Amino acid sequence: MPVDLVACLPVIAFYLRIWRGLTDRESLNGLLFVSPFIVGFVLFQALPMVASLLLSLTDFDPREPDQISFIGIDNYANMLSDPILLHSLFVTARFALLVVPLTLFRHYLRRHHVPYLQGQVYIEPHPRELMLRNHV
């Protein structure tokens, strides 16, 4: 499928305007203000994530840092065949799928002043709390 260069010219012109705009004083000031975030993100987020990914593909042992070898996704294959990990993933998923929606539903009922049971005790919000909640 051939590319129509005439149709691409507006897109190329748009990116050239953006590139030329980076030399303006306002753009440089903007980059100056954003640069602490960029440096912090790269140092404390991006680099540790990349290092973790690369280390997960090796058989690195911190007691013997000179003996490192690339083993690919074998670590992930071993992890998925571990019955203890599979059980813990099941428990976590069950918790997330049961407790989180029930908690959200309970708070929804409380927000709309529907009395609810907590344990074996019937709980009714105090009238002053209802006035504060309804901005009275």
CB–CB of 113/130 below 8 Å? yes
d(CA 65, CA 62): 5
Rounded to the nearest 5°, which phi and psi values hold at 68? -120, 135
Q: E-strand spans in the chain? A: 116-118, 121-123
Q: What is the pLDDT of residue 2?
A: 54
Domain spans, the chain: 1-80, 82-136
Q: What is the DSSP letter of 134?
A: T
Q: Which residues pair with 58 in a beta bridge?
A: 70
- pLDDT tens digit sequence for 62-88: 898 888 889 989 989 998 899 999 999
Q: What tokens does 111 get?
A: 């927000």
Residue 20 has pLDDT above 90, yes or no: no
CB–CB of 25/38 below 8 Å? no
